[in-house]
């Protein structure tokens, strides 16, 4: 069987962007996977006036797929509005990474859901929540 990760994924895995935590984050979330017991956390700083993400960091205790996705979606989300960042899908993340192995899709979804949860955390704190439906995609 061929090695499942392409060079872009491996590059993000080895040099993940935006790793760390933001102590005074405006929104944060941690998501764990019952499947593997791994965890990922996302922290955001938000400019209230424009509702844009001014800074974002993540910590992952997951696999290469999870780490590479955290890296790429934090890059994609930085500077975006909350609405734009919420609509980032794992398919887009996978595409930006040149394709993730399908067997690892859920690890990628976990990172994307964690970003959405961090945004939701911000929205809850600021009374912006209009839709409490769980975000599944």
Place of tokens 């919420």: 86
Q: Decide whether 31 or 123 has the Cβ nearer to ligand FES.
A: 31
The reply on whether position 36 binds ligand FES by CB under 6 A is yes
- Which residue stretch of 3-11, 19-27, 28-36, 94-102 sits at the interface with ligand FES (rule: CB under 6 A)? 28-36
What DSSP element (H or E) covers 10? helix 7-14
Task: State how far the Cα of 52 lies from the Cα of 83, in Å rounded to an integer.
Answer: 9
- Which residue stretch of 2-10, 61-69, 85-93, 128-136 sits at the interface with ligand FES (rule: CB under 6 A)? 61-69
Place of tokens 């859901």: 113
Task: Provide, rounded to whole angstroms, the least separation between the CB of residue 43 and ligand FES.
Answer: 18
70: its two tokens: 């955290």
Q: How far is CA 95 from CA 14, 34, 35, 37, 88, in A?
A: 19, 25, 24, 26, 11
The reply on whether position 65 binds ligand FES by CB under 6 A is yes
Q: Decide whether 19 or 36 has the Cβ nearer to ligand FES.
A: 36
Q: Catalog residues that contact ligand FES under the rule CB under 6 A.
A: 33, 35-36, 38, 62-63, 65-66, 106-107, 110
């Amino acid at each position: 069987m061929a090695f499942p990760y392409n060079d872009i994924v491996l590059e993000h895995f080895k040099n993940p962007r935006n790793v760390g935590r933001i102590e005074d984050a405006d929104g944060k979330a941690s998501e764990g996977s019952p499947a593997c017991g791994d965890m990922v956390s996302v922290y955001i700083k938000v400019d209230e006036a424009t509702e844009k993400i001014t800074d974002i960091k993540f910590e992952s205790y997951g696999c290469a797929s999870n780490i590479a996705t955290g890296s790429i979606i934090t890059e994609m989300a930085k500077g975006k509005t909350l609405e734009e960042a919420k609509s980032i899908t794992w398919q887009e993340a996978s595409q930006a990474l040149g394709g993730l192995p399908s067997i690892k899709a859920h690890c990628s979804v976990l990172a994307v859901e964690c970003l959405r949860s961090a945004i939701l955390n911000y929205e809850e704190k600021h009374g912006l929540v209009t839709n409490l439906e769980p975000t599944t995609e």
